Amino acid sequence: MAHFLFVDESGSDTGPSPYAVLGGIAIEDWNLWNLVRELQECELRQFGVAYRASGEEIKAKKFLNAKTFRKARHAPPLATEERVHLSRECLRNGAEAGRGISALAQSKLLYVEEALEICSRYRCKVFASIVEKSAPKPAENYLRKDYAYLFERFFYYLDDLRPESIGIVVFDELEKTQSHLLVGQMDRYFKETATGRHRSSLLIPEPFFVHSDLTTGIQLADLICYVISWGFRLPSMTLPARAELSPFANQIAQLRNRSVRDVDGNPSFQIWSFAYIQDLRTQGERAEGGPEIEKRQ
């Protein structure tokens, strides 16, 4: 049985996001089409029309930004029939002032809530590397630690499902030069390191690249990474979170995977599928510049 891991990033640029997140959502192959169909039906329930038919992409920056929450609060929660009607008209004819804008904003938030509920029903698992934006970065020929830890957590998940599991990684398409760079880094990691060779027994080392506007799994990963950056916090993460995202962050926390491994003589050490990283350099590079800090939480 194959498990797809759809991966995206949030906050990796120089924008105002508090943390950079490389994250993804995993689903079993036989459940994937059913998940996609339910999410398409969810669009119809919340917007009265397929959202992408309006020429727009489901993106976290448009669905979950502070402006969307403000617009949603401009009117009291609308009755379902009225809200869906107004949302459909906004998508077809352009947003109008007043209740139409509020209706569309409310529908966006309800879509995200229901989409995460659907993911839970299909036993999806969420994985993430959460990185300090000031974290030192490695040389270009090395695979960054956020990728390595993401693959580690996904590998543990697959390992717990033996012997019926194999992992396929699907990335949002990057600029071609960046895609080639990442493929080369992954190739060296999975061929030239003992850890990588071990993990290639369950993870196919060559990823797929897709367009986010055409791939539902990447759109989910985008929503999840955004919420983690702005709304999810581990005890060691000190930057403030947006309180309005707390309900979504709680939903995502329920989708984390927990594995148990023998670590430093503790046979019952729990490793969750989120890693908090403060240094992206390899061990050799860190030896020259200082110790790595990574929180196994």
The domain boundary, picked from 93, 117, 141, lies at: 117
The parent domain of residue 78 ranges over: 51-117
Shared domain check, 166 and 76 = no
Domain-located, residue 44: no
The domain boundary, picked from 117, 137, 166, lies at: 117
Domain-located, residue 167: yes
pLDDT in tens, the chain (297 residues): 899 999 999 988 767 899 999 999 999 999 999 999 999 999 999 999 999 888 889 999 999 999 999 999 998 999 999 999 999 999 988 766 578 999 999 999 999 999 999 999 999 999 999 999 888 888 777 899 999 999 999 999 999 998 778 999 999 988 888 999 999 999 999 999 999 999 999 999 999 999 998 899 999 999 999 999 999 999 999 999 999 999 999 999 999 999 999 998 899 999 999 999 998 887 767 766 544 444 545
Shared domain check, 129 and 8 = yes
Q: Provide the pLDDT for residue 142.
A: 85
Identify which of 269, 272, 290, 271 has the alpha carbon closest to the alpha carbon of residue 281.
290
| Phi-psi sector, 266: left (phi>0), alpha (psi -120 to 50), beta | beta
Q: Give me the count of residues in the chain.
A: 297
Is the distance from CB of 35 to CB of 130 less than 8 angstroms? no
Identify which of 132, 115, 158, 183 has the alpha carbon closest to the alpha carbon of residue 22.
132
The domain boundary, picked from 117, 135, 160, lies at: 117
pTM of the model as a whole = 0.92
Q: Provide the pLDDT for residue 120.
A: 98
Shared domain check, 133 and 61 = no
Q: Provide the pLDDT for residue 293.
A: 43
Domain-located, residue 46: no
Identify which of 296, 171, 275 has the alpha carbon closest to the alpha carbon of residue 232.
275
Domain-located, residue 284: yes
Is the distance from CB of 265 to CB of 49 less than 8 angstroms? no
Cβ-based neighbour number of residue 98 at 10 Å: 10
Domain-located, residue 131: yes
Tokens of 143: 């695979």
**To which residue do tokens 């367009």 refer?**
211
Cross-strand bridge partners of residue 167: 3, 203
Integer Cα distance of 75 and 71 in angstroms: 8
Shared domain check, 227 and 151 = yes
Tokens of 166: 């194999």
Shared domain check, 233 and 90 = no
Is the distance from CB of 201 to CB of 164 less than 8 angstroms? no
